[in-house]
């Protein structure tokens, strides 16, 4: 029934051909897919990038080569459930198909001895990056700009912060000071967060960097690009760097704190 899944996403004949070929062969560079399908390499790369933007495939980097692979069922279902609120009937049909037949989309081949780096593009890709943080067992640590977040996806983040708190995922964060960051800090207790505000004229940035469990994610709002790095060593190093910067940020005095029991969950 995988053809029904592809039909529900309104894929072209070539898109379906390339998707099925990657599903059959596992993670592949565009050049290999082009050889197997006897299509021009530039055409194949363009179509595969389009499938990444649609959320059906993921692009990873290994040894300076980009590989394409079909997306996991769990990530597809998670993204579609959020979009369901906006496009009810169409998204309901896609979720039903994925939950019934989505196991066929779970073919992935990665070198387990290396960090896994996954790229996400477009608004749908950025949502996937943040939805993954809701699975955290250790809480989040983050450098973030409220102004950048709300400039790109204001409705999403208004709901995301509440959903994160409802799931019991605490956060500790550092933000450039602005009216939006002061308003966000005022909600810290309700949104299960402790935060530090630092002078924007000295320290300002747009991208967000988060650490949780064995992962680090980086989101660029200007480029509409999200990256998730899965590596315990890298995540631990970034947490240590964050703790050092948070200690320095606390000296500016604009800090909120969680209760002791909540702090234990954020470590």
For residues 148 and 205, membership in a common domain is answered with: yes
Q: Is residue 110 part of a domain?
A: no
Percent of the chain with pLDDT over 70: 87
- Reported pTM: 0.56
Average pLDDT of 229-251? Answer: 95
Q: Tell which residue, 57, 67, 73, has the closest CA to residue 20.
A: 57
Among 45, 76, 105, residue at a domain's last position: 105
Structure tokens at 126: 């950025």
Same domain for 56 and 176, yes or no, is: no
Classify residue 201 by burial, with Cβ atoms within 10 Å: 0-12, 13-18, 19+. exposed
Q: Domain limits at 185? A: 116-266
State both tokens at 141. 């640590």
The answer for 78, left when phi > 0, alpha when psi is -120 to 50, beta otherwise, is alpha
The answer, yes or no, to whether residue 184 has pLDDT greater than 80, is yes
Give the model's pLDDT for residue 114.
73
User: How many other β-carbons are positioned within 10 Å of the β-carbon of residue 42?
Assistant: 10
Rounded mean pLDDT, 191-195: 95
Tell me whether residue 48 is in a domain: yes
Residue where one domain finishes, among candidates 105, 140, 174: 105
156 and 64 part of one domain: no
CB-based contacts of 20: which residues, under 8 Å, 6+ apart? 2, 6
Q: Based on the fold, state whether residues 184 and 259 are members of the same structural domain.
A: yes
Please check whether residue 52 is in contact with residue 68, taking contact to mean a CB–CB distance below 8 angstroms: yes
d(CA 70, CA 118): 12
Q: What CATH number did the domain enclosing 74 receive?
A: 1.10.10.10
- CA 264/CA 192 separation, integer angstroms: 12
Residue 111 falls within a domain, yes or no?
no
230/254 same-domain check: yes
pLDDT for 47: 94
**Whether residues 166 and 248 fall in one domain:** yes
Q: For 63-192, list the strands marked E by DSSP.
A: 65-70, 116-121, 140-143, 171-176
Q: Classify residue 196: in a domain, yes or no.
A: yes
Q: 19 and 143: one domain?
A: no
| CATH number, domain containing residue 209 | 3.30.870.10
129: its two tokens: 């990056």
My answer on whether 121 and 225 are in the same domain is yes
Residue range 89-134, pLDDT digits in tens: 777 787 888 888 777 665 554 445 578 999 999 999 999 999 999 9
- Compute the half-sphere exposure of residue 23: CA atoms within 13 Å on the CB side of its CA: 20
Same domain, 98 and 174: no
Residues 151 and 72 in one domain: no
Last residue of one domain, picked from the residues 55, 78, 105: 105
Domains contained in the chain, number: 2
Has residue 191 got a pLDDT over 80?
Answer: yes
User: Rounded distance, CA 167 to CA 172, Å?
Assistant: 16
Mean pLDDT of 185-204: 94
231 domain-assigned: yes
Residue 264 — very low, low, confident or very high, per pLDDT cuts 50/70/90?
A: very low
């Amino acid at each position: 029934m995988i053809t029904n899944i592809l039909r529900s996403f309104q894929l072209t004949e070539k898109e379906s051909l390339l998707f099925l070929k990657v599903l059959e062969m596992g993670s592949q560079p565009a050049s290999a897919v082009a050889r197997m399908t006897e299509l021009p390499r530039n055409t194949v790369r363009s179509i595969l990038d389009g499938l990444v933007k649609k959320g059906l495939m993921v692009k990873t980097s290994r040894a300076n080569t980009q590989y394409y692979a079909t997306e996991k069922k769990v990530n597809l279902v998670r993204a579609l459930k959020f979009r369901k609120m906006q496009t009810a009937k169409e998204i309901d049909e896609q979720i039903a198909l994925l939950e019934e037949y989505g196991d066929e989309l779970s073919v992935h081949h990665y070198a387990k001895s290396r960090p896994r780096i996954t790229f996400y593009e477009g608004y749908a890709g950025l949502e996937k990056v943040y939805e993954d943080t809701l699975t955290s067992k250790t809480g989040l640590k983050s450098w973030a700009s409220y102004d950048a977040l709300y400039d790109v996806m204001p409705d999403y983040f208004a709901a995301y912060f509440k959903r994160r708190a409802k799931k019991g995922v605490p956060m500790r964060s550092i933000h450039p000071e602005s009216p939006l960051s002061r308003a966000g800090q005022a909600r810290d207790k309700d949104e299960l967060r402790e935060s530090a505000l630092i002078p924007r004229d000295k320290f300002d940035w747009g991208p967000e960097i988060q650490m949780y469990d064995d992962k680090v994610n980086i989101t660029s709002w200007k480029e509409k690009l999200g990256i998730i790095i899965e590596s315990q060593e890298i995540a631990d190093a970034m947490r240590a760097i964050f703790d050092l910067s948070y200690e320095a940020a606390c000296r500016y005095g604009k800090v909120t704190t969680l209760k002791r029991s909540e702090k234990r969950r954020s470590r």
